[in-house]
Structure 1
Amino acid sequence: MKVDLVKQTPTYRAARGRFDVVTVPPLRYLMVDGHGDPNSSDAYRDTLTSIYPLAYTLKFLSKRDLGRDYGVPPLEGLWWSDDMAAFTDRRDKSRWDWTLLSLVPDWITAEHVETARAAVARKGGAPVLDAIRLEPFDEGLAVQTLHVGPYDAEAPVLDAMHHEFIPAHGLRMTGKHHEIYLSDARRTAPERLRTILRQPVAPVETP
């Protein structure tokens, strides 16, 4: 039976027009870091052409060698900037830092990743393959919502999340802005893109 990692994890569901406080369980991802405008930087393009082949090679390795099949989940990204206004207000993408993520099941080991990496390397065409790592990520408490529409239309939603909902509920932002791309931007009209927007938080400490 093919495992659906997204359906098994409740925090991969979010509602449009509503902010929810959730607790994200510890998960494991393929990760790779980069910097710059995702629309134009070589680093972002090279990351996409490396992380996808590794993710799918791992999936087929798991099905063939372990007898455990699963669907490759949607791409995710952590985004930040030294000046967060460059992200939420001015949208100065040239100043963005990011980490792209691909969720893997808990039975995938570092040895499996290295076997898959070697297979991808033999085929070529994955320029940052060696930079991809397998790493646990314990995000914990977070606020999230579903955004429907172009990525550049996220700013008002993020502004309401950051400056209205989070402080009104006795919370403060802690980690990096997290996006989960439920739609394939190559095949989906911008106005129909579905993206989970997530912000890690913690309770405000009272004196």
Structure 2
Amino acid sequence: MSDSRTAAPAAKVDFKKALASYVAPRGTFEIIDVPERRYLTVDGHGDPNAAPEYSAALEALYPVAYRLKFASKTQLGRDYVVPPLEGLWWAADMEAFTAARDKSQWDWTMMILVPEWIEDALVGATIAGLAGADAPARLDDVRLASLAEGRCVQTLHIGSYDDEAAVLERMHTEFIPAQGLRMRGTHHEVYLSDPRRVAPEKLRTILRQPVVGPDEGAGRG
């Protein structure tokens, strides 16, 4: 009788369960260290509910993300759940995020994580493979970018995106200063829920802000 065995396929990776930075406490703030990671990204400006370039950004990001997942499974033998959508948000006046909530003043970068085992060349080939007559309008704007956030403060917000302001106000003006820290970089959100399928009051969003100590330099990114 043969003793040979067929190797079991590797388990599908779910980054929302595998990465600590995709899990945050509700109702309190935590300080974590987020290592450098790569993302598929598209930049834009304006109200995400009204700016056509925002919906066009998602229409470009998701096909690349799903095509890349398929390439990883078939070419590399490593399958995974497409990671959640994420966004970096900023404005010339950060009050646009809290008191004013003037979304027309927002700049943003929408992102989807690229697994560390996927090489840059495969990402480039995947994007190129979507080019053609039926290509998403903003496909040429999709780029691979690295983000090194380091020390961050984050929390889990459950509810409407428009209800984030009070949480961010506490994070920015109470918790961060109380820890002897200062904000740096860019406000970061991780969308754990699909707003097309989940009621606004049940949306789960990680709110994250990179920080530095009082004697450290600050800046975006």
State the TM bucket, normalised to the shorter chain.
over 0.9
1:195 aligns with 2:205: yes
Aligned pair 1:11/2:41, yes or no? no
CA distance in 2 between counterparts of 1:114 and 1:20 reads: 36
Percent identity over the alignment? 58
Q: Structure 1: which 5+ residue stretches go unaligned?
A: none
CA shift, 1:2, in A, is 1.0
User: Hey, what's the Cα distance between the residues in 2 that align with 1:157 and 1:123?
Assistant: 44
Whole-Å separation in 2 of the counterparts to 1:121 and 1:33: 19
Q: SS in structure 1 opposite 2:117? A: coil
Give me the whole-angstrom Cα distance separating, in 2, the residues matched to 1:172 and 1:182.
Answer: 26
Correspondence for 2:168 = 158
Q: Which amino acid aligns with 1:67?
A: G
- Consecutive unaligned residues in structure 2, runs of 5 or more: 1-10, 217-221
Q: With structure 2 as the length reference, what TM-score do the two structures score? A: 0.90
TM-score by length of 1: 0.96
Paired residues, number = 206
Which SS does the other structure have where 1:121 is aligned? coil
1:125 deviates by: 4.3
Deviations 1:161-189 (A, max 9, x none): 00000000100000100000000001100
Please show how residues 124-203 of structure 1 align to structure 2 within 5 Å: 124-203=134-213
Q: Could you say which structure has the larger radius of gyration? A: 2
Q: Which residue of 1 aligns with 2:4?
A: none
Runs of 4+ in structure 1 deviating by more than 4 angstroms, as ranges, are none
Q: Give the root-mean-square deviation of aligned CA atoms.
A: 1.2
